[in-house]
């Protein structure tokens, strides 16, 4: 597992933090960073454990706290997305002509999603956040925690990618 990793756990945290602060957890998923951590570590829990071994001190504690927050956000996302065939409604509507030549609106269960409105996907990059209402609330919580005294030293200024990496690397 370790030999296939191209980035350290600290570098993944810097990338994820930058993506989340720049466009929310949705951006981190759509840009492949969430899938990247899972590909490298197998799970976000394993990534957090690896990060703990790379950092120390107060900055390290804050880095782990940020990683645990991100991991908790990912845990709230299911690997489903809105069905592209029915638009999430679970049914397909169409018009037909009846025997009098009149247009009649018809509806049938969507065969792509079997009427559920969602389909399973294999990667977070394919998750449709329109059906994940908790993600915006999670983003707000993350921003609030990052801007608070709890993690503020980790970012220093305006959620800058290099600042978080510098702070974490100092503790390693």
- Tell me: do 13 and 70 sit in the same domain: yes
Domain count, the chain: 2
pLDDT of residue 157: 41
Nearest Cα to 122, choosing from 72, 81, 83? 81
Exposed / middle / buried, residue 87 (Cβ in 10 Å: 0-12, 13-18, 19+): middle
- Tell me: do 115 and 148 sit in the same domain: no
Mean pLDDT by 10 residues, the chain (172 residues): 64 86 88 94 95 84 86 88 91 91 92 93 85 79 71 47 55 52
Q: How many CB atoms lie within 10 A of CB 81?
A: 20
pLDDT of residue 140: 85
- Tell me: do 113 and 145 sit in the same domain: no
- Tell me: do 131 and 70 sit in the same domain: yes
pLDDT of residue 170: 60
pLDDT of residue 153: 47
- Give the residue numbers spanning the domain of 114: 87-120
- Tell me: do 112 and 150 sit in the same domain: no
- Tell me: do 105 and 129 sit in the same domain: no
- Tell me: do 66 and 101 sit in the same domain: no
- Tell me: do 61 and 141 sit in the same domain: yes
- Tell me: do 8 and 37 sit in the same domain: yes
- Tell me: do 30 and 74 sit in the same domain: yes
pLDDT of residue 137: 84
- Tell me: do 19 and 51 sit in the same domain: yes
Do residues 83 and 110 make contact, with C-beta atoms less than 8 angstroms apart?
yes
pLDDT of residue 150: 53
- Tell me: do 70 and 146 sit in the same domain: yes
Do residues 43 and 81 make contact, with C-beta atoms less than 8 angstroms apart?
no
């Amino acid at each position: 597992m370790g030999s296939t990793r191209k980035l350290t756990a600290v570098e993944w945290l810097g990338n994820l933090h930058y993506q989340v602060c720049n466009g929310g957890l949705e951006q981190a998923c759509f840009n492949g960073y969430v899938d990247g951590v899972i590909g490298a570590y197998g799970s976000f829990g394993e990534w957090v454990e690896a990060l703990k071994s790379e950092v120390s001190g107060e900055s390290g504690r804050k880095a782990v706290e940020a990683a645990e927050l991100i991991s908790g956000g990912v845990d709230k996302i299911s690997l489903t997305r809105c069905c592209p065939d029915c638009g999430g409604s679970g049914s397909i509507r169409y018009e037909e002509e009846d025997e009098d030549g009149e247009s009649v609106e018809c509806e049938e269960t969507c065969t792509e999603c079997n009427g559920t409105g969602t389909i399973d996907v294999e990667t977070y990059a394919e998750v449709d956040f329109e059906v994940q209402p908790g993600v915006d609330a999670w983003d707000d919580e993350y921003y609030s925690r990052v801007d608070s005294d709890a993690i503020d030293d980790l970012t220093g200024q305006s959620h800058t990618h290099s600042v978080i990496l510098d702070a974490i690397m100092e503790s390693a």
